[in-house]
Structure 1
Amino acid sequence: MIRHLGSALTDVTYVFDEPSIGLHPHDVVRMNDLLRQLRDKGNTVLVVEHKPEMITVADHVVDLGPGAGSAGGQIVYEGTVDGLRTSGTLTGKHLDDRATLKASVRAPSGTLEIRGASTHNLQDVDVDVPLGVLVVVTGVAGSGKSSLITGSVVGRDGVVQVDQTAIRGSRRSNPATYTGLLEPIRKAFAKANGVKPALFSANSEGACPTCNGAGVVYTDLGMMAGVATVCEECEGKRFQASVLEYELGGKDISEVLALSAADAEGFFAAGETRVPAAHTILGRITDVGLGYLTIGQPLTTLSGGERQRLRLATHLGDKGGVIVLDEPTTGLHLADVEQLLGLLDRIVDSGKSVIVIEHHQAVMAHADWIIDLGPGAGHDGGRVVFEGTPADLVAARSTLTGQHLADYVGA
């Protein structure tokens, strides 16, 4: 951004996709200033964003919806920020939402000790991370949050890190295969039709012979980019025609894989299509806010935030342990943040410890314990500047995080 601000070019259109990712509220204010400067030079600035702090500085807002996945894809509002507030859209309703501090916080069941942490810019940090509660690690961008947790917590026994890196798997992988959901579905189809389960896998015996179960045929064009065309034999359904004659509850396997997770949860809940194992996994997928995903869509079509929540869904059934989440609000709409907070509460109440590296004030306000790093970034950071409850942080206002959190909750 700085490079373009120094450029002599004008009348350029800049597109920023969630520039607030990884930014502390203090940094978001500075980011807004840079965006305005780019605009004032005579450029057009397009920003794809969820943060209300960034939406409210816009000259013009385009809101898509009304829902996600197949329930979205329409422009539901276009106009000023003030107009958005009264538009009645999901974004408009939640634009002025502000979290409140919890009346009481959970008592820790133990501590996880970090001693002499010196990864990257950390300055020989000693800190005790409470267990059995919701811990938020925060601080300005570059203050050493990820260095502290990734370097000193991740890798220990019983600690699971859920981040936003690409999920390993080919373009044949989908939410059903990744979560283990396909196995009980295949067995249910096999039992209902008296055939073997392998027929109901597009990676096994039931695959369309023309596209080998991919649903598309890839053509290599040498030096140019390859082209994918829908398979003419199976029409993208991925299975042999003979396999699609077998049904469960009036649907063939390709129709079931085309269901959203929310619809599939209802489909496998009761009656002749009741499959408890599938229903449990689908419940976890909808719990993490991914009820709109079709269970057979390729994992390559998922965003970073969706991948992270799908990973989280696979760990919800684990016994005990510590779950580390790195910015789980990335890519989340204002309305979804509330659902995320409820999910984090349920995970902690189930007996797990949750450590969240996060900048979102709603998550900070909802924490039982906050570890704030700073006071600045790079060489100016790497120290613990506060540890305690959100209420104590707001009352002290001794750090940048404390000041922004106090403003957010209206203290």
Structure 2
Amino acid sequence: LEVATPAVRREAKKNRRLKIVGARGNNLKNVTAEIPLGTFTAVTGVSGGGKSTFLIETLFKAASRRIMGSREHPADHDRIEGLEFLDKVIDIDQSPIGRTPRSNPATYTGAFTPIRDWFAGLPESKARGYQPGRFSFNVKGGRCEACQGDGVIKIEMHFLPDVYVTCDVCHGKRYNRETLDVLFKGKSIADVLDMTVEEGVDFFAAVPGVRDKLETLKQVGLGYIHVGQQATTLSGGEAQRIKLAKELSRKATGKTLYILDEPTTGLHFHDVAKLLEVLHELVDQGNTVVVIEHNLEVIKTADWVLDLGPEGGDGGGELVASGTPEDIIREKRSYTGQFLRELLERRPGGKREAAE
């Protein structure tokens, strides 16, 4: 099993680069480095080499302060050039998509609104005078009031994590009996939320507003999760990919900088390949993706690599090498280059065309 090495790497759009000048937060030693826009860039190096300080503490915080007006305080640096080419900067991390059982993939990706609208438009709903709000578990009316639409009851354990038990009134369905009487193709809205994403795509094949949003979840390898699965039961990797799916379903402006910190942590090999497809699709739309990564299968597909180190802590904080993976393997001091060389030398040329 392996990911194909691209036959052709993307080149930077004419003179469009982000240039970080004089980064010196934590152990960074006055690092100046460039990231070509419109490419997939990997920031590599040993643990403690300065990757997170460079990418998250310096670039992300400075960019979100300038572009998004956030109140982040970036690490010390002189300046960053090229931010005028971007209109958004997003850090897609593994934090939960929500901290309550009511948050779920459907609400997060926006698929739940068209699902509610669809159920409210059915003849049975119209006859009963039901509006889309009837199918929401955030407002009174259609939800089960015993659990307030959570489907579970929270039991607070004072010195232990909270425990959730299934609501014994609605039996986890979240809605009251009258709401569940409204059926589409024999299924209630609770049945729809209990479907896997894959089943949901087939079920709503004739409803593009719902199907397309669920399709992006399937695309990032999450066809197996449930449409209404409680956010509290999703892993960090799943939460991260749900966020990616939301980005994929947005209208691309081609001017977004996406930053991911070790996105392949804990993923099975097949999921790594799936994730890479999605990240490269975001780049094909004209965006820039920068990842901190140790996984050589990811690094070898990058268009550009920044290798920080050479060691961790005081022995790190320098830019050891930068360039294409082929450039990195020529740098004697780069540990990444040494391991990457073995992979690239047995290269079965996979296809990926260069961007214009």
Q: TM-score, normalised by structure 2?
A: 0.83
- Are 1:119 and 2:119 matched, yes or no? no
Match of 1:239 among 175, 186, 195: 175
Are residues 225 and 396 of structure 1, via their aligned partners in 2, closer, same or farther at CA, if it must alter by over 3 Å?
A: closer
1:368 counterpart letter in structure 2: D
Are residues 296 and 392 of structure 1, via their aligned partners in 2, closer, same or farther at CA, if it must alter by over 3 Å?
A: same
Distance in 2 between residues matched to 1:226 and 1:152, nearest whole Å = 36
Q: Do the aligned partners of 2:310 and 2:333 also contact (CA within 8 Å) in 1?
A: no
Distance in 2 between residues matched to 1:225 and 1:254, nearest whole Å = 27
2:217 counterpart letter in structure 1: I
Q: Do the aligned partners of 2:149 and 2:175 also contact (CA within 8 Å) in 1?
A: yes
2:41 counterpart letter in structure 1: V
* Pairwise CA distance, 1:106: 0.7
1:283 counterpart letter in structure 2: E
* Pairwise CA distance, 1:394: 2.5
Distance in 1 between residues matched to 2:160 and 2:49, nearest whole Å = 43
Q: Do the aligned partners of 2:91 and 2:260 also contact (CA within 8 Å) in 1?
A: yes
Q: Which structure 2 residues correspond to residues 2-401 of structure 1 after superposition, within 5 A?
A: 97-109=1-13, 110-155=16-61, 156=63, 157=67, 158-192=88-122, 193-194=125-126, 195-204=130-139, 205-220=141-156, 227-270=163-206, 274=207, 276-316=208-248, 317=250, 318-320=252-254, 321-401=256-336
Distance in 1 between residues matched to 2:270 and 2:203, nearest whole Å = 26
Q: Do the aligned partners of 1:98 and 1:409 also contact (CA within 8 Å) in 2?
A: no
Q: Do the aligned partners of 2:40 and 2:290 also contact (CA within 8 Å) in 1?
A: yes
2:259 counterpart letter in structure 1: V
1:235 counterpart letter in structure 2: H
Q: Do the aligned partners of 1:394 and 1:403 also contact (CA within 8 Å) in 2?
A: yes
Distance in 1 between residues matched to 2:5 and 2:163, nearest whole Å = 52
Deviations 1:119-138 (A, max 9, x none): 11111111111100111111
Deviations 1:96-153 (A, max 9, x none): x244532211111210110111111111111111100111111011101111011232
The answer to which of 220-229 and 107-116 deviates more is: 220-229
Q: Do the aligned partners of 2:98 and 2:104 also contact (CA within 8 Å) in 1?
A: no
* Pairwise CA distance, 1:406: 1.4
Counterpart in the other structure of 2:78 = none
Are residues 161 and 378 of structure 1, via their aligned partners in 2, closer, same or farther at CA, if it must alter by over 3 Å?
A: same
Partner-residue secondary structure (3-state), 1:128: strand
Partner-residue secondary structure (3-state), 1:324: strand
Partner-residue secondary structure (3-state), 2:209: helix
1:176 counterpart letter in structure 2: A
Structure 2 unaligned residues grouped into runs of 5+: 68-87, 347-356
Question: Could you say what the CA RMSD is over the residues aligned between the two structures, in angstroms?
Answer: 1.8
Partner-residue secondary structure (3-state), 1:159: strand
* Pairwise CA distance, 1:182: 0.7
* Pairwise CA distance, 1:241: 0.5
Q: Do the aligned partners of 1:100 and 1:409 also contact (CA within 8 Å) in 2?
A: no
* Pairwise CA distance, 1:240: 0.2
Deviations 1:271-328 (A, max 9, x none): xxx2x22222112111211111101111111111111111111122152211111111
* Pairwise CA distance, 1:197: 0.5
Partner-residue secondary structure (3-state), 1:143: coil
Partner-residue secondary structure (3-state), 2:103: coil
The answer to which of 219-228 and 291-300 deviates more is: 219-228
* Pairwise CA distance, 1:171: 2.3
Deviations 1:183-227 (A, max 9, x none): 110000001132200111122221112222121233456667755
Q: TM-score, normalised by structure 1?
A: 0.72
Are residues 221 and 169 of structure 1, via their aligned partners in 2, closer, same or farther at CA, if it must alter by over 3 Å?
A: closer
2:93 counterpart letter in structure 1: D
Are residues 102 and 220 of structure 1, via their aligned partners in 2, closer, same or farther at CA, if it must alter by over 3 Å?
A: closer
* Pairwise CA distance, 1:343: 1.4
* Pairwise CA distance, 1:341: 1.8
Are residues 226 and 389 of structure 1, via their aligned partners in 2, closer, same or farther at CA, if it must alter by over 3 Å?
A: closer
* Pairwise CA distance, 1:228: 3.5
Are residues 107 and 211 of structure 1, via their aligned partners in 2, closer, same or farther at CA, if it must alter by over 3 Å?
A: same
Q: Do the aligned partners of 1:99 and 1:409 also contact (CA within 8 Å) in 2?
A: no
1:286 counterpart letter in structure 2: K
Distance in 2 between residues matched to 1:254 and 1:173, nearest whole Å = 15
Q: Do the aligned partners of 1:98 and 1:408 also contact (CA within 8 Å) in 2?
A: no
Partner-residue secondary structure (3-state), 1:153: helix
Partner-residue secondary structure (3-state), 2:52: helix
Are residues 137 and 225 of structure 1, via their aligned partners in 2, closer, same or farther at CA, if it must alter by over 3 Å?
A: closer
Q: Do the aligned partners of 2:119 and 2:182 also contact (CA within 8 Å) in 1?
A: yes
